[in-house]
Amino acid sequence: MSDVEIDQFVLLLTDFSAATKKDDKIIKAEMICVLSEYSDIVYVQSKLPFPFSNRDVCQRRFILSNKKHPELIESFGLPQKKSTAYFIFNEAIALEECPTPKGFERAKMYTLTVVEEHPTKPGAIKVTNVGQNDPGGSIPDSIINKMATKMS
């Protein structure tokens, strides 16, 4: 991505008020609570195509900047970067305030997204996303793998 301010990009990427407007597969996305300046709990409901049940996920999210939180970057053992970088962790959690509604299956998602200034292209951003997801329910592995391949 070129000519985008990294701070603005991360804000857009993590803004739930815009999520339902930009993605028609998201039924509901909301912040449940703020835990700290860099951590919160979020809840998302997603629409899946027939014959699958819709999914929901409750996650604790950490949004760390190497410029704003250098001590946390070091304590988590994350790579030290000279240029600006954000590390966004999402981990599935069980929470009483996030019960699975009727007609939904609870997904378990664990992701790390790294957003950084591109090392060789000034003014560009490099985004790396790694995740492990269990969509829940009784979807055969072959279909999950096929869906994951199409979505990536």
CB atoms within 10 A of CB 77: 6
Residue 67 Cα distances to 7, 44, 79, 82, angstroms: 11, 29, 13, 9
pLDDT per residue as tens digits for the range 45-81: 989 888 888 899 999 999 999 999 989 888 888 888 8
Residues 6+ positions from 97 with CB-CB distance below 8 Å? 32, 33
Would you place residue 19 in the very low, low, confident or very high pLDDT band (cuts 50, 70, 90)? low
Per-residue pLDDT for 39 more than 60?
A: yes
Above 60 in pLDDT, residue 118? yes
What is the reported pTM? Answer: 0.80
Question: What pLDDT score does 30 carry?
Answer: 87
